[in-house]
Amino acid sequence: MTPRPLLEIENLSTHYVSSRGTRVVRAVDEVSLRINAGETLGIVGESGSGKSTLALTILRVLPAAARIVSGRMLFEGEDLVQKSDEDMRHVRGKRIAMILQDPMASLNPLFTIGDQVAEPIRVHEGAGRGAAWRRARDLLKAVRIPSPETRVTQYPHEMSGGMRQRIVGAIGISCEPRLLIADEPTTSLDLTIQAQYLNLLRELQREHGLALIFITHNLGIVAKMCDQLAVMYAGRVVESGPVSQIFNAPAHPYTEALLNSIPRMSDSVQRLTAIEGQPPDLAALPRGCSFAPRCAKAFDRCRVETPPEFRPGHARTARCWLAAAPSTPEGILVHSGAA
């Protein structure tokens, strides 16, 4: 008896097509995901695994060469794939907001903070300058910026890095979106500011009932921030499910390898294991499972046939033949509610 998810992505594929149509890069391939209101979904994966393209697809702000080839994106019951460009513009920033990879460079150097925080409010709600500025001041207060009354009239160069980041956060929540997509928002920050920012995002999430999609390659942040996790490899979601379950018992060898490559405080003896090899070329995927060439547990079937999405547990999925049978050598948890 789960409520209808806020965003339900089904079989979504986004391909980059070269101008003559000869080369097709499957950046996002048959991805299915769901996120409930107020939840945090972490998306992890190596560079080039399609995480950012997925985020851009959700907002439909893809570069000209990209095509949404198939699939549905049901957001509050409406299919975002079918919406017109003009309708999508009213979704962006108002119902789904996004924080970009480099929030430090996300502010226009020529405008005051107040103008920039007020901009989405004026665009989407047609508010006057005065009213929008008052809202901007409140928003700065909400993201813990000291003395917002004077800060609204200042310019980005007068702010510290951490402040600019929080201002970008304020722009994100300015129209009270239902879903906030954060695409590696902390990669350009040092660790202390990173921690502060993550705390702030969590507080904002709690206060505004936001759903958050958190794109990162840092599993430590996932453990801290997220309820659900989706692991992407070569454009596909190879494993998804609740964070705690995946961390305890990964169903896909790739996830397992990722988890083994994190240094742990507990055992200092064991060497860190790296994943051998390179991620595949998305324009020329190998036959069968795309992780098979690097997988320690691959067997004959993996190299021939692409595994479908199996359900090794309640609300979990894994694209691996090993997850198909309940009696896999890894002893994957199979819950009673398994589909």
Residues binding other proteins (CB under 8 A): 59, 61, 64, 89-94, 97-98, 100-111, 119-120, 123-124, 158, 168, 171
Which residues are CB-neighbours of 144 under 8 A, at least 6 positions away? 166, 200
- The distance of closest approach from Cβ of residue 98 to other proteins in the complex, given in angstroms and rounded to an integer, is 4
SS3 category, 310: strand
- The distance of closest approach from Cβ of residue 318 to other proteins in the complex, given in angstroms and rounded to an integer, is 31
Q: Are strands 66-75 and 228-233 parallel, antiparallel or unpaired?
A: unpaired
Residue placing its CB nearer to other proteins in the complex, 108 or 273 = 108
Residue placing its CB nearer to other proteins in the complex, 13 or 112 = 112
Q: Where are the alpha helices (DSSP H) in 103-184?
A: 113-125, 129-142, 148-151, 161-173
Q: What backbone phi and psi angles, to 5 degrees, belong to 27?
A: -70, -40
Residue 41 to residue 237: CA distance in whole angstroms: 13
Residue 287 token pair = 């036959």
- The distance of closest approach from Cβ of residue 46 to other proteins in the complex, given in angstroms and rounded to an integer, is 23
Residue 159 to residue 169: CA distance in whole angstroms: 14
- Of 334, 322, 319, nearest to 298 by C-alpha is 322
Residue placing its CB nearer to other proteins in the complex, 9 or 251 = 9
Residue placing its CB nearer to other proteins in the complex, 111 or 299 = 111
Question: For tokens 């794109």, what's the residue?
Answer: 215
- The distance of closest approach from Cβ of residue 101 to other proteins in the complex, given in angstroms and rounded to an integer, is 8
- The distance of closest approach from Cβ of residue 2 to other proteins in the complex, given in angstroms and rounded to an integer, is 29
Residue 304 to residue 307: CA distance in whole angstroms: 9
- The distance of closest approach from Cβ of residue 9 to other proteins in the complex, given in angstroms and rounded to an integer, is 18
CB 58 within 8 A of CB 80: yes
Residue 42 to residue 35: CA distance in whole angstroms: 10
Residue placing its CB nearer to other proteins in the complex, 92 or 137 = 92
Residue placing its CB nearer to other proteins in the complex, 122 or 311 = 122
Residue placing its CB nearer to other proteins in the complex, 35 or 168 = 168
DSSP assigned state of 186: T
- The distance of closest approach from Cβ of residue 96 to other proteins in the complex, given in angstroms and rounded to an integer, is 9
Residue 300 token pair = 């004959």
- Of 260, 255, 259, 273, nearest to 320 by C-alpha is 255
